[in-house]
Amino acid sequence: MDILPILSTLRRHKLTSWLLILEIALTCAIVCNAVFLIGQRLQRMDMPSGVAEHELLQIQVADVTAPSNPYARMAEDVAVLRQVPGVISVASSNQVPFGTSSSNGNIRLDPAQPERTLFATTYFGENLVQTLGTRLVSGRDLKPDDFVDVETAMKGLGNGDSKSLPHVTLITRTLAERLWPGQNPLGRVIYLTPVVGLRVVGVVDSLVRPNAYDKAKAQYTMVVPIRMGANKDQSYLIRTRPEDRASVMAAVLVALKKADPQRGVTTKRSFDDVRRKFFQDDRAMAGMLVGVIAALLIVTALGIVGLASFWVAQRRRTIGVRRALGATRRDILNYFQTENFLLATIGIALGMLLAYGINLFLMLHYELPRLPAVYFPVGAISLWLIGQLAVLGPALRAAAVPPVVATRSV
């Protein structure tokens, strides 16, 4: 296909051609960035938790009057829950992965260092590793005699009595690698305060923090042997088989009600719900971006249809002459398709530059990473396709122009 005649024709329609190119360029730029944003959101929503999500339930209860001994109360509840048929394992915890509400601490590797090394989250609870299903990669799990009641620990903090403080901790592999790159973390000590030194006794494969907003710090997690006692902020985590979740949840609620008819259940949900809730904004944003991309491509396609129809109508006579001089229907069709391809290509080239510019702006204002090159072809291909699809109708109409038109005066 000879493109020189096409170029010379376009030169006579400069204004409309440039408008079309501009529209394609803007669309391409926005589509590239929007697809990139969707990719970012999907990637975030895919963040691993390190726990057996499809096998876990979370329950929180609130008492009418605070129990006189919250630790005994919690032990009773856990015993009641363990009795429920279908329950594989039960844990208590002050927080849950992706649960938003979190307890965190500044950790130091040397009690005297002025600045914190990093900000890690602290899980307090019994039987967590087994129930959550996170894998222990080295060392040992926490043992019952590692545990200290939170009030005892607080008193110990007050009077400096180290016997009433916890002494050991579990950490994630990511945290171990961050604190002591390439070294064995077992036996090393992390300081939560100058008097609370925790010896690392075990490393778990992965356990995400409740407030995992920053991917790089999502696995800065410690499990500390502190018993919190029953209160409204504590969660019971129940492991069961995925297919038993609904029936176990119902049975567990009945069992808790029987143990104390007075209290209310404030949270009852599966871990699938926890994850869904944590990432709901990302899902909504990704959905909205998909909608915007679709609407943009439709508007651009409509624009192409409109202008192409106009060009076809305007050149009816010329087309007739070409047909009379021996051009086939296929030649006419190719002519309009090639014309659109040329315009789209120029638009896409400009669009790439613009996409890069928009990305720079977004990087400056929204803490986004640089647009990877792989997103450029996405915008290019979608616009080439949309262009060809949109021009097909008008081009077919052009190809249907009979040669006899050339002989008629308009």
Partner 1 sequence: MFAYYLDLALRSLRRNKVLTTLMVLALALGIGATITTLTVLRLLSGDPLPQKSAQLFYPQLDPNEKDGYIAGQTEPAPTMTYVDAMNLLHAHRATRQVAMALSQAKVLPQQGGDHPFFSDAVMTTADFFAMFDAPFQYGNGWAAADDDSGAQLVVIAGFLNDKLFGGANSVGKTIRLNDRDFRIVGVLKPWAPQPRFYAQDLGGRSYGDGDAVFLPLRTARAVDMGPQDTECYAAVTDIKHLETAPCMWLGVWVELVDDAAVAGYKSFLSSYAQQQIAQGRFQRPETALLDLMGWLRDQQVVPDDVRLQAGLAFGFLLICVVNTVGLLLAKCLRRSQEIGVRRALGATRREIFTQFMVEAAIVGMAGGVLGLLFAELGLLGIRHQPAEYASLAHLDLGMFLFTFVVALGASLIAGILPAWRACVLAPAPQLKAA
Residue that the structure tokens 């545990």 belong to: 147
The Cα 128–Cα 143 span in angstroms is: 11
Report in angstroms how near the CB of residue 350 gets to partner 1 at its nearest.
Answer: 13
Choice between 199 and 232, CB closer to partner 1: 232
Report in angstroms how near the CB of residue 202 gets to partner 1 at its nearest.
Answer: 26
The Cα 346–Cα 19 span in angstroms is: 12
Report in angstroms how near the CB of residue 26 gets to partner 1 at its nearest.
Answer: 5
> Which tokens hold the place of 203?
């490393």
Choice between 204 and 289, CB closer to partner 1: 289
Choice between 185 and 347, CB closer to partner 1: 347
Choice between 22 and 75, CB closer to partner 1: 22
The Cα 8–Cα 12 span in angstroms is: 7
Residue 394 identity: P
Residue that the structure tokens 């410690």 belong to: 222
Choice between 40 and 138, CB closer to partner 1: 40
Q: Is residue 172 classed as helix, strand or coil in its secondary structure?
A: strand
Report in angstroms how near the CB of residue 59 gets to partner 1 at its nearest.
Answer: 15
Residue 52 identity: A
Choice between 65 and 407, CB closer to partner 1: 65
Report in angstroms how near the CB of residue 133 gets to partner 1 at its nearest.
Answer: 28
> Which tokens hold the place of 142?
């926490």
Residues near partner 1, by CB under 8 A: 15-16, 19-20, 22-23, 26-27, 30, 34, 37, 62, 64-66, 114-115, 154, 157-158, 193-195, 232, 263-264, 266, 277, 280-281, 284-285, 288-289, 292, 295-296, 298-300, 302-303, 305-307, 309-310, 313-314, 362, 366, 410
Choice between 14 and 330, CB closer to partner 1: 14
Report in angstroms how near the CB of residue 395 gets to partner 1 at its nearest.
Answer: 16
Report in angstroms how near the CB of residue 281 gets to partner 1 at its nearest.
Answer: 7
Report in angstroms how near the CB of residue 57 gets to partner 1 at its nearest.
Answer: 21
The Cα 319–Cα 307 span in angstroms is: 17
Residue 206 near residue 50, CB atoms below 8 Å: yes
Residue that the structure tokens 């989250």 belong to: 121
Residue 277 near residue 101, CB atoms below 8 Å: no
Instruction: Give the DSSP per-residue string, 56-101.
Output: EEEEEEE-SS--S-HHHHHHHHHHHHHHSTT--EEEEES--TT-S-
Choice between 11 and 330, CB closer to partner 1: 11
Inter-CA distances, 370 with 37, 223, 282, 288, Å: 11, 35, 19, 22
